Structure 1
Amino acid sequence: MYVYMNGELVPKDQATVSAFDHGFLYGVGLFETFRIYNGHAFLLEDHLQRLNKGLSDLSIKKNFSKQEVMAALSLLLEKNGYENAYIRFNVSAGYGEVGLQVEPYEVPNVIIYPKPLPPAGNDIFEKKAQLLTIKRNTPEGSYRLKSHHFLNNIYAKREIGNFPDVEGIFLTENDELAEGIVSNLFWFNEGTLFTPAVETGILNGITRQFVIKLAAKLGYQVKEGFFKPEVLETADEIFITNSIQEIVGIKEWNGRYFPGKQGKITQLLFQQYRQYCLLLSSKTELDKEV
C-alpha cells in the first residue's frame, strides 16, 4: 500500500516523520476521516472546511482547497487501485524544538492514509450501545477539534473491549448524553429526532451535520440539547453516525431492545444517505436539485 506524504506517493513502510514533529511530541495535529464511493469523496468540502478552521486555530499554516485534495486523492487511489476506500487525511504540526511553541507552524506534515473498502451496499449495520463509566473529557479549547489528542477515546475503547458490534456511549461530567467513542448519537421519539448539542462538548461530526439537515429536509423536527440518559429508555429508535460506518442502528441499550436496523426512520435516513453518497461534496447541496 502507498500513502501520500507531502506531495509524494510513498510505500507505507517508508513513510516516516521526525521525532521532533510536534504532532508526536505534543499532539498538535488534526485529521479527517471520510469515504470514497466509486471514486467520489463524499462531503469532502465539509471535511475540508472543518479541517481548515482547526488548522487556523492551531496556528498551522496550511489551507486545503478541494482541487488540491482531489488531485492528491486521484493519484493515491490510482496508485493503490482503489475505487472505494477509507481515507484518513492527517496534518501534524511538523518539526519543532522540544518545548511548547507559540509561534505558528510553517511546514506541517501532510499524510493521506487509504484503506480499501468494498462497494457500498444497501444493508444497514447495527450494534449494541453500552454506557461508559469513563466520562467524556471537556474540549481543550472553545470547541472540540478532531485532533491527535485521543486518549479519552482509547480508554473508553479499552473499557468496552475489542467487540466491533458494541459502541460505548459517553456521558458528560454533568451526566448528560454526549457521544459514542467514534460516533455521534441520535434517537427518534414521537415524530422528533433528538441529538446532544455541540455545547455538551461533543465533536460536531460531518455525518451528524448531514443527517440533521437531511432529517429536516424530510420534514422531521430536530432538537439538539442537553439530555439525561433516561430519555433513551422511551425512544422509538436509536442510531449512531460517523463518516465511515455511516448510519448504524442500535438494537440494545441498558438491557432494553430497540428496532436497530429495522427502525423505519433509521432505514429511511439510510436510504436517502445512500442516494446522496455518490453525488454530494457538501451538505449545502441538499438545498439544490441533484
Structure 2
Amino acid sequence: MYLFINGSFTKKEDIQISPFDHGFMYGLGLFETFRTYKGHPFLLDDHFQRLTESAETMNINMPKYNRDETKEIIEELLRLNNMEDAYFRWNVSAGERNIGLSTDQYEQPNTIIYVKPLSLAVNTEKKARTLTIRRNSPEGEIRLKSHHYLNNILGKRELGDAPGEEGIFLTAENVLSEGLVSNIFWLKNEKLFTPDLSCGCLNGITRQFLIALAEKQGISVEMGRYPVEMAIDADEVMVTNSVQGLVPINQWESKVFPGNKGNWFRWANEQYQQQASCLWSKQEL
C-alpha cells in the first residue's frame, strides 16, 4: 500500500513521523475524509475550504490549495494502489516543536494522505440508537474535524460493532447533535430539519451539500436545537457523511421509518448519485 507524505509517494511501512509532532503530542491536527466516484473526488473544493479554515484556527500554515495538483496526487495514489475508487483521509498535523504549548504559527506541518479501497456500494439502511454518552462541546467556537476523537470512540464502544446501526449523540442539554460519524436530517410535513452548529455537530461537507440541494429545489430547511422526540416523530430520517453518502434510517427506538423506500430519500439520493462523479463544490449546484 502506497500513501503520500510531505510530497512523496511512500510505502506505508516506510513512513515515519517525529514523536515531537504537536499533532501527536497535543492533538493539533486536522483531517478530511472523502471518496472518489469513478475516479472523481466528490466536493473536493469544499473539503479543502474547510481544511484551510480549520488550519487557520489551529495556527497551521498550509500551502495554498491547488485543485489540479491535489487531483494529480489522488489519481497517482489510485494508480499506485491499483484502485478505481477509494476512501481518502487527507491528514495535516502541526509539525515538530519542542515540548510545551506554543502560540507561534506552525510553518512546517506534516501532510499524510491515507487511502483504502472502497466500492461503489448501494446505500444500506441503518437503525439509529440514541447514545447515553453525551456529545462533548467543541474545543473552540465550532467543532473542527480534528484529532480530538475520544468522545466518538467512547460512543463507538457504547454502540458496538454492528455495521447496520448508527449511534446518535445528544448534548448535555438533551438536544440532538449528530451521529457517531454522521450528520442527521429528518423530514416532517415536507420540511427538512437538522441540528444547527450550536449543538456541537460538525459542519459536514455532505451536510452542506444536502442543505444546498434542498434549498435549490425550494424545500424549506430549518436548523435549530431539537429534542430527540421531534426526530423520532418524523416522516423520514437520514444520516449523511462523505464516505457513505446518504444513508436512510429504517428504525429508531421502536419507531419504524420507510428507509430506502421513502420518497424524500429516493429523490435526494438520485440527485446525489447524479452529482457524485462530477461536482467539485456545492456552489456548482
TM-score (norm 2): 0.97
Letter aligned with residue 117 of structure 1: L
Query: 2 CA distance for matches of 1:160 and 1:87?
Result: 25
Instruction: Give the match for residue 47 of structure 1.
Output: 47
Instruction: Note if 1:132 corresponds to 2:131.
Output: yes
Instruction: Give the match for residue 38 of structure 1.
Output: 38
Shift of 1:239: 0.6
SS in 2 for 1:125: coil
- Once superposed, which parts of structure 1, at least 4 consecutive aligned residues long, lie more than 3 Å away? none
Per-residue displacement from partner, 1:200-224 (whole Å, max 9, x unpaired)? 1210000000001111222211111
Query: 1 CA distance for matches of 2:209 and 2:94?
Result: 29
Instruction: Give the match for residue 272 of structure 1.
Output: 271
Instruction: Give the match for residue 88 of structure 1.
Output: 89
What is the 5 A alignment of 1:1-290? Answer: 1-63=1-63, 64-118=65-119, 120-121=120-121, 123-286=122-285
Structure 2 contact 192–221 (Cα < 8 Å) conserved: yes
Shift of 1:66: 1.7
Structure 1 contact 124–267 (Cα < 8 Å) conserved: no
Structure 1 contact 185–239 (Cα < 8 Å) conserved: yes
Letter aligned with residue 78 of structure 2: L
How many residue pairs align between the two structures? 284
Per-residue displacement from partner, 1:249-275 (whole Å, max 9, x unpaired)? 101111111111111101110011000
Shift of 1:38: 1.3
Per-residue displacement from partner, 1:168-204 (whole Å, max 9, x unpaired)? 1000111000000100000001010110011212100
Shift of 1:67: 2.4
Per-residue displacement from partner, 1:98-120 (whole Å, max 9, x unpaired)? 111111111111011111112x2
Structure 1 contact 125–247 (Cα < 8 Å) conserved: no
Query: 2 CA distance for matches of 1:223 and 1:147?
Result: 27
Query: 1 CA distance for matches of 2:227 and 2:157?
Result: 24
Query: 1 CA distance for matches of 2:202 and 2:275?
Result: 23
Structure 1 contact 35–86 (Cα < 8 Å) conserved: yes
Structure 1 contact 48–65 (Cα < 8 Å) conserved: no
Structure 2 contact 185–237 (Cα < 8 Å) conserved: yes
SS in 1 for 2:70: helix
Structure 2 contact 204–241 (Cα < 8 Å) conserved: yes
Query: 2 CA distance for matches of 1:61 and 1:185?
Result: 32
Structure 2 contact 123–244 (Cα < 8 Å) conserved: no
Letter aligned with residue 73 of structure 1: I
SS in 2 for 1:60: coil
Shift of 1:233: 2.8
Structure 1 contact 52–62 (Cα < 8 Å) conserved: yes
Query: 1 CA distance for matches of 2:28 and 2:13?
Result: 23
Letter aligned with residue 42 of structure 1: F
Letter aligned with residue 190 of structure 2: G
Structure 1 contact 7–72 (Cα < 8 Å) conserved: no
